[in-house]
Amino acid sequence: NPYQRYSASQLDEMTTDHTHLSVHYDYIISANSDVSIIAYSNDFARNWYKTSKVGGFSLGSGAESIAAQIDNGTYINSELPEVQIKANNRSYSAQGIQGELAYRTGDHDIRFGLRLHQDDMDRYQWVDKFTLNTDQTMLLSSKGIPGTDSNRIDSANATSLFIHDTWEIADLTFKGGLRYEDVELTREEWGTADPQRSSAPMVRSNTVDALLPALGLTYQLNDDWVVLAGVQRSFAPPAPGNQNAEIEDGWNAESGVRFNDKDLQIEAIAFSTRLDNLHGNCTASQGCDDSLIGNQYNAGKVSIDGIELSLQQAWQVGAVQIPLNINYTYSNATFDESFESDLESWGSVSRGDDLPYLPQTVIQVESGVKGYNWQVLASVQMLDEMRTQAGSGVIDSSNGIARRTVVNLSAQYSIDNTQQIYAVMDNVLDKTYIATRQHGAIQTGKPRTIQIGYRVNF
């Protein structure tokens, strides 16, 4: 039952606040050149007030057993269990400016880009303690002081540069690019003994950079068929909590064909990724042990192979159009090295084990009716079963999520060129399903949810 929960979690709650601001500027320099600039700022704060220990035991290490005894009336210890609820209180900010200069000459479309970016995460947490009574009520026994749990700031300053060229030679198009990333990472930690941050923090910093090439090509066989191929290097900087400061990097390659005949489009793409190192992040949402949250782990080499198929068709029936979109993805992702990890979703990994939380098959079908200034669309998404912990062979029900099918519905009416009214219904059939499993806990998928809104562009 995805909705089952322990009485010890009755006070669990998340509160959030989000502010986003962006300014766009576009300027046409000449007939063959233009520039665009975007400045942006994001601020997000959240406090996930969540049970972390019961009877002195962490989740996944005995807490559930004690909580279950209270709930089913079998608790016999004379001392009532203590419930520790952690306020996973964080604030995030990200701001920056990026610009792109486009220059077109002859058969070339050249673009230059620059981005200056800064972000940070401020963790300022505490723990409240409660007594869990046999009647399943909870009584506050100790109020925590903010900053006496996790008390640190992680930040990053990044500079990105790129050049990209599109070169057309008859029916052959080359797309090549080169990106440079330079990232400075810093962790300032005051620790639980200095909640007021009155002393100088312990500082740990690291700088990484990467040069990332990419090349793609398409060849127009005829009016309908296109052959394509591409290869690019991938990169992700380490988090401040990555003790080995290892980057995530590798190579991605793809090849395939596209067919386009007015109202019918078909695409078949095979893809392959070879990572020299894969990052795994320990977060509260994963149910990580409290002492490990914020850590980043390295898995070494990983292989991902698969195929994507898509079909888009549209039929005109009088004044309305009936679209049909079908997308199919099959992927196989495995670890190429054996290792032991404190990240629960990895654990004890043997070479050849499947990666967790990656369904092998995903199918999505969308169709509906479109008029001159309105549309109604329904989509069906089918996800294959998936592992919640690395492994191979048959997926055990306690470490897996069953396959599921979810139906969504959307509608939109355009008042004019700048105004739209829209409505979205997610999970139309109110399907009950498990979304994640962590530390013996279950998180449900989104129930039936309706959004109605008004959108204006100016």
Which tens digits make up the pLDDT trace of 339-358? 998 888 888 999 999 999 99
Low-confidence ranges of the chain (pLDDT < 50): none
According to the model, what pLDDT value does residue 42 have? 98
According to the model, what pLDDT value does residue 215 have? 98
Whole-angstrom distance, CA of residue 292 vs CA of residue 47: 18
User: Both tokens of residue 326?
Assistant: 């079908």
**On the CB side of 167, how many CA atoms lie within 13 Å of its CA?**
9
Contacts of 49 (CB under 8 A, 6+ apart): 11, 12, 13, 14, 15, 85, 86, 87, 88
What is the phi/psi pair of residue 351, to 5°?
-55, 130
Give me the DSSP letters along 336-361.
SS-EE-SSTTTSEE-TTPBPTT--SE
Q: In the beta sheet, which residues pair with residue 60?
A: none
Q: In the beta sheet, which residues pair with residue 54?
A: 57, 83
According to the model, what pLDDT value does residue 44 have? 98
Residue 280, exposed/middle/buried by CB under 10 A (0-12, 13-18, 19+)?
A: buried
Share of the chain above pLDDT 70, in %: 95
According to the model, what pLDDT value does residue 286 have? 60
User: Both tokens of residue 362?
Assistant: 């995903």
Whole-angstrom distance, CA of residue 98 vs CA of residue 35: 11
Query: Beta 419-426 vs 449-456: how paired, if at all?
Result: antiparallel
- C-alpha dihedral over 40, 123, 296, 50, to 10 degrees? -110
According to the model, what pLDDT value does residue 263 have? 85
According to the model, what pLDDT value does residue 232 have? 97
Q: Which of 65-80 are b and which e, b meaning 16 or more Cβ less than 10 Å from the residue's Cβ?
A: ebbbbbbeeebeeeeb
CATH match of 221-458 with 2.40.170.20: yes
Residue 364 near residue 377, CB atoms below 8 Å? no
Q: How far is CA 75 from CA 4, 5, 134, 368, in A?
A: 19, 17, 8, 55
